[in-house]
Structure 1
Amino acid sequence: MTTASLFARNPNLPSLSNSPTWAREALTPRDPPRITLPHPEYHDPNEGLTNPPLFSEAHFKHLVQNSYFFSKADLSTLKRKAHNAPTFDAVASCLWRARTKALGLEGDLRLLFPIDTRLRCSPPLPNGYYGTAVVFVCARVDANALCRPEGLANAARLISGAKREVDDEYRASVIDLLELRGRREFGREGVFVVSDQSRLAFAGVDFGWGRAVYAGAARAGTGPVPGMVTSIVGHNGGVVALVSLEREQVGAFEEAVREDLRPDAKL
C-alpha cells in the first residue's frame, strides 16, 4: 500500500528505499508437515453442532448494516470493566456478549480473530515482505458464562490468552494443517469473527489527495455465513464496530452494548 502511494504521487520515482519482497518460501510447510496444536477455529465435520444455523444465504439481503462508535470514554469504561484489558480484547468481548444475547445463542461459542505474525515469529520475515502472514486464533466459552455479569472480564481474559498462544510453533502448525487437509472453512455454528482493523495505517496513506477521511471496511457480514464477521476500525480517537444483524435483533444488541457501557453497571 505504501509503495503504491509513493508511485501514485511520483510515477517517475527512480527507486524505493524499501523494495517489496514476495518471499513466499518463508512460509512453506515443514518436511514432513505435522499438526502439533489444536485448531478449533476450523470446521471439524465430525464435531456435533449445538446451535441451529443463524442465517441462510437468502437472508443476507435482509441484514441491517449498523455502525457503533466507541468513544475514548466508552473504551475506558470497557477496559476498566475488563480488568484493564487491551482495547481490542475489551471491545471484542462486549460485541461477543451483545451478539450472543441478541441471537439467543446457547452452548459452545467461539470467537475467531486474525493475528499478524510478521513481527511475532522468528526468524523475522524479509524486509519489505508484502504477503499475508495472518493466522486465526480462537477463544471458546459457554454462552451462559459469557452472558453473566462477569462475562465481559472473563471473555477478555480468554482473548488475551489466545493471543499469547501465537508463536513460531502455532504458525507452523497452521501452515501444516492447510498443507495436509487443504483449505479449510471456519466453523460456522456458534462462531463470531472480529477483525481488528483499528491499527491498520490505511488512513495515513496518501495517494496524492491527502489523508483519508475514513479508511476501513465498507460493511460487515461478509464471509461464509452472513452476519458472522464484524470489523473494528479506528476513527476520531475511538473505534467503529461494523455489525450486520437481522432487523429484529438490532434492539437487543444495542441494549446489551449499552449495558456494558454503563459506568455503574455491576460486574
Structure 2
Amino acid sequence: MAVKIVETYSVSPSSGAAAKLTLPLLYFDIVWLDTILTETLHFYPLKCSESRFLETVVVNLKHSLSLTLKDFLPLASKIIFPLTSAAMPASRYTASDSLALVIATSDDDFSYVVSNRPKAAGDFHHLVAQMPAAVYSSDEIKFSPFAIQLTLFPNQGICIGFTHHHSICDANTLSDFLHTWASINKSNGGEQLNLLPFYGRDSVQDSTKLTVAHWNQMKTNRPTVSLTPPPPSDKVRATFHLSNAQIEKLKSWVTIKKPSIGRPSTFVVVCAFIWSCLNKCGGDNDDETQYFGSPVNCRQRLNPPLPDNYFGNCLIQFIAVSSHGKLKGNDGFITAAELVATALKIALKSTTVSEFFENRAEIFSEMKGKRVIRVVGSSKLDQCDADYGWGRAVKYECIHTDFYEAVHVCKDIHGGIELGLSMPKPNMDIFAEVFTKCLYINSKL
C-alpha cells in the first residue's frame, strides 16, 4: 500500500472558543498514561478526484473540525506530565494550541482494503495519523492527545484515521466528538446534534484519594507519547460477524444450560463465544490459567452517577479467570458465559470502583506472564454511523489490537455484532474454521 503525504495542517478551534482550559487528569485517566496509543480507521466510499478532495472535501472538513474543536478543546490541548514532585498531570489548552491534520492519498484498491478477508496488518499502518513530537523540559513533558489523517483513494473512497492518547478520553467521549464533527460537516457548519461535553470533575467518586494514589504509582514511569512498536510483519487482519439471529440462539442456549444467570446480554454471549472459540484453536496445557477482560463504561454506576456526555475516561475492567481445559471443551461456551456474566456483574457495582482501583496494581501483577485475552470496543457502539455527508462508513478497523491479543467488538450495519481480529495467518485460518463450526453447532440447538 503506497501512501503519499500531500499536506499537513494545524487546525485550531474556531473563534469564540475559550482562551484556555485546564482539565485535571483523574485516576480514571492517569492509568492510561503509559499505555500504547489507540489507532482507528473509518472507511467511506466516495467517488472523488484528488482535485475535488483537496479543494472542497478537505476545506469543508477543516472548517467543520475547527467548529467542533471549539466545544472539544481538550482534543486540541497538550497533556502535561509533570516531572516535579508537587504538580499533578493535566490537559491544558491555550489559544496557541491546535490539532495535527495530515492529508494523504493512496493508490491501493479501496474495495480490497475494506473487505472482510484476511489482509496484511502492516499495510494499514500507513493510514494511521502520527502524533506531533513531544516537548521535553526539566519541569514537564508536554504532548498532544489527538491527531487525524485523511487519506483519499482517488475515485474510490476516503479513510479517516484517528490516533488518540487514551488518557484524554475513552471511546464514549471520542464517539461523541466524531458524531458532532460529522453532523456539523454534513450540515455545512450548522448546529451540531449532540450534547456538549460535560467537564465537571468535582463529583467523581473517590477522586482525590485514588487520583493521588495512582499518580504516585505512575509518576516514576514515562508517558507514551508516540506509538513505538513497529508494524507487525507476520499478522493479518480479518472481520467476522454474528447476526442478531445467531446471538439470540446463543442467549437461548445459555438460558437453558445455566438458568441461574438469567437472560444474558449480547455483550456477555459475544465475549463468551470469542473466549471459547480462541481456546478451541489450540494449546496443550489444560491447566494453564488465563484471563479475559474488557474495559466497560461505568458513568451510570458511580455514586453519584456521571452524565453520559462526561468528557474523559470512566472505565472499569471486568476480569474473568479460567483454565484452557475448561474453555476448550464442549461446554466451554457455557462455562465462559457464566464466568463473564459473574465478573461483569461484580465490576458494575458502584462499590467495586473503589475496590478495583485500590487494588489495581496487585490485580494486574497477578496477570503478568499469563495469557490475557481482551475485548475492546462495545457491543453498544456503532463505529460506522457517523455521517459526514457521504453516508455510513463501510468499514472500521481498530489498528492498535495488532500489538496484543485482543478482539474489537462493535455493532454492524444490520444490528448484529462485528468482530475484528489480528493474528498470524495460520492462526487466523484455524480461528475462521472454529468460528464457523461453533456457529453451525449452536444453530442446531
**Structure 2 length-normalised TM:** 0.47
Cα distance in structure 2, aligned partners of 1:75 and 1:92: 11
SS class of match (1:69): strand
Cα shift at 1:142: 1.0
Aligned length: 237
Measured against aligned partners, the alpha-carbon deviations of 1:14-37 in whole angstroms (never above 9, x if no partner) come to x98843222234437556559xxx
Measured against aligned partners, the alpha-carbon deviations of 1:84-137 in whole angstroms (never above 9, x if no partner) come to 532222122121122223241631111111110012222121473122211111
Gaps of 5+ in 2: 1-176, 212-228, 256-262
Cα distance in structure 2, aligned partners of 1:266 and 1:144: 24
Are residues 1:97 and 2:276 paired? Answer: yes
Measured against aligned partners, the alpha-carbon deviations of 1:197-221 in whole angstroms (never above 9, x if no partner) come to 33114434333434x2346434472
Cα shift at 1:253: 1.6
SS class of match (1:135): strand
Residue equivalent to 1:217: 397
Match of residue 67, structure 1, among 239, 248, 268: 239
SS class of match (2:409): strand
Are residues 1:248 and 2:426 paired? Answer: yes
Residue equivalent to 2:250: 78
Match of residue 162, structure 1, among 340, 343, 350: 343
Cα shift at 1:194: 0.9
Match of residue 205, structure 1, among 386, 396, 401: 386
Cα shift at 1:12: 5.9
Cα RMSD after superposing both structures: 3.3
SS class of match (1:27): coil
SS class of match (1:192): strand
SS class of match (2:334): helix
| Structure 1, 110-119 or 247-256: larger mean CA deviation | 247-256
Cα distance in structure 1, aligned partners of 2:194 and 2:438: 47
CA contact (8 A) 1:196 1:233 kept: yes
SS class of match (2:293): strand
Q: Given residue 213 of structure 1, which amino acid in structure 2 is its aligned partner?
A: A
| Structure 1, 132-141 or 255-264: larger mean CA deviation | 255-264
Are residues 1:239 and 2:417 paired? Answer: yes
| Structure 1, 25-34 or 73-82: larger mean CA deviation | 25-34
SS class of match (2:296): strand
SS class of match (1:23): coil
| Structure 1, 68-77 or 16-25: larger mean CA deviation | 16-25
Classify 1:248/1:155 alpha carbon distance in 2 versus 1 (closer, same or farther; 3 Å): same
CA contact (8 A) 1:77 1:261 kept: no
Cα shift at 1:177: 4.8
Cα shift at 1:144: 0.5
Classify 1:72/1:21 alpha carbon distance in 2 versus 1 (closer, same or farther; 3 Å): closer
Residue equivalent to 2:310: 129
Cα shift at 1:161: 0.9
Residue equivalent to 1:4: 181
Q: Given residue 200 of structure 1, which amino acid in structure 2 is its aligned partner?
A: L
Cα distance in structure 1, aligned partners of 2:332 and 2:385: 36
Residue equivalent to 1:262: 440
CA contact (8 A) 1:98 1:254 kept: no
SS class of match (1:92): helix
Are residues 1:140 and 2:140 paired? Answer: no
Classify 1:90/1:16 alpha carbon distance in 2 versus 1 (closer, same or farther; 3 Å): closer
Cα shift at 1:3: 3.6
Measured against aligned partners, the alpha-carbon deviations of 1:11-67 in whole angstroms (never above 9, x if no partner) come to 364x98843222234437556559xxxxxxxxxxxxxxxxxxxxxx78932112111
**Structure 1 length-normalised TM:** 0.74
Cα distance in structure 2, aligned partners of 1:158 and 1:19: 37
Q: Given residue 217 of structure 1, which amino acid in structure 2 is its aligned partner?
A: E
Cα distance in structure 1, aligned partners of 2:181 and 2:359: 33
Cα distance in structure 2, aligned partners of 1:58 and 1:104: 27
Classify 1:93/1:188 alpha carbon distance in 2 versus 1 (closer, same or farther; 3 Å): farther
Classify 1:109/1:204 alpha carbon distance in 2 versus 1 (closer, same or farther; 3 Å): same
Same amino acid, percent of matched pairs: 20
CA contact (8 A) 2:385 2:393 kept: no
Cα shift at 1:68: 1.0
Q: Given residue 422 of structure 2, which amino acid in structure 1 is its aligned partner?
A: S
Cα distance in structure 1, aligned partners of 2:401 and 2:281: 16
CA contact (8 A) 2:280 2:329 kept: no
Cα distance in structure 2, aligned partners of 1:175 and 1:7: 38
Residue equivalent to 1:171: 353
Gaps of 5+ in 1: 35-56
| Structure 1, 120-129 or 164-173: larger mean CA deviation | 120-129
